[in-house]
A and B are shown apart, each in its own frame.
Chain A
């Protein structure tokens, strides 16, 4: 089955981001296809490059990054939701005249059209809420 995943929760703040991560892993292990993972609302925080959880806790940020690299997954973070919450990649930081960027390279910034497209091209869209 072809799944797309919508992640609305931030790591640590809610369990939904971790549940989404586990779901994606389980789907891949069961030979399903993940068409896209879309990060929206507080879910955009999953794509932070600088979040640093305590060393004795599971690092979900690193977990997502490794998963993307291992499986060449399409991770898309909503550009508008990210900008208003203070998450920018290098080109967005430049465009908004900010000194720093803070987004992991495993994630692409794009618009909600990518979620609409994923909905049309997947068998199921699973939302992991706030």
Chain B
């Protein structure tokens, strides 16, 4: 495969961690895009906030810990992680995993993120 030119890819993640495969499959796409050295941003919004909680014990539902899996993103060159602040407020979530180095952003900054992206994928 030829080396593709660098695209600004925005992956919008709006799914809860274990209720569907979407959280895992959006992470897989982010890792693939990182492998091909694309300029990847991930926006967590809506129920995707729950992916960022530290106290997860998904062994109870025979799943792998998604929060831990998100921590490999920087190894793949994916370091631009954002969370929609309003989504956290709506769910009364006060603490998200600080290891992930996620930037909280406002609605207007979210709009900017969309505007600057060349391609948006929503999960």
1/0 per residue, CB under 8 A from A, across B16-33: the answer is 000001100100110011
**Contact indicator B36/A117 (Cβ below 8 Å):** yes
**Contact indicator A115/B29 (Cβ below 8 Å):** yes
Interface residues of A in 75-130 (CB under 8 A from B): 80-81, 84, 111-117, 119-121, 125, 127, 129-130
- Given A120-B7, A121-B4, A125-B119: A115 in contact with B25 (beta carbons within 8 A): no
Q: Which residue of B lies closest to A6 (CB)?
A: B121
A40 on the B face (CB < 8 A) = yes
Q: Please give, as numbers and ranges, the residues of chain B lying within 8 Å of A80 by CB-CB distance.
A: 28
Q: Please give, as numbers and ranges, the residues of chain B lying within 8 Å of A113 by CB-CB distance.
A: 1, 32, 35-36
**Contact indicator B7/A41 (Cβ below 8 Å):** no
Q: Please give, as numbers and ranges, the residues of chain A lying within 8 Å of B2 by CB-CB distance.
A: 117
- Given A41-B22, A120-B7, A120-B38: A112 in contact with B121 (beta carbons within 8 A): no
**Contact indicator A116/B32 (Cβ below 8 Å):** yes
- Given A125-B119, A127-B121: A119 in contact with B28 (beta carbons within 8 A): no
1/0 per residue, CB under 8 A from A, across B63-105: the answer is 0000000000000000000000000000000000000000000
**Contact indicator B4/A115 (Cβ below 8 Å):** no
Interface residues of B in 20-59 (CB under 8 A from A): 21-22, 25, 28-29, 32-33, 35-36, 38
B111 on the A face (CB < 8 A) = no
A38 to B12, CA, bound (A): 18
Q: Which residue of B lies closest to A111 (CB)?
A: B32
Q: A116-B29, A130-B22 are in contact. List 10 more A-B contacts (CB 8 A).
A: A80-B28, A115-B29, A116-B36, A117-B1, A119-B4, A119-B119, A120-B36, A121-B4, A125-B121, A127-B121
Can you give 10 A-B contacts (C-beta < 8 A)? A113-B35, A116-B9, A117-B4, A119-B38, A120-B4, A120-B5, A120-B6, A120-B7, A125-B119, A129-B122
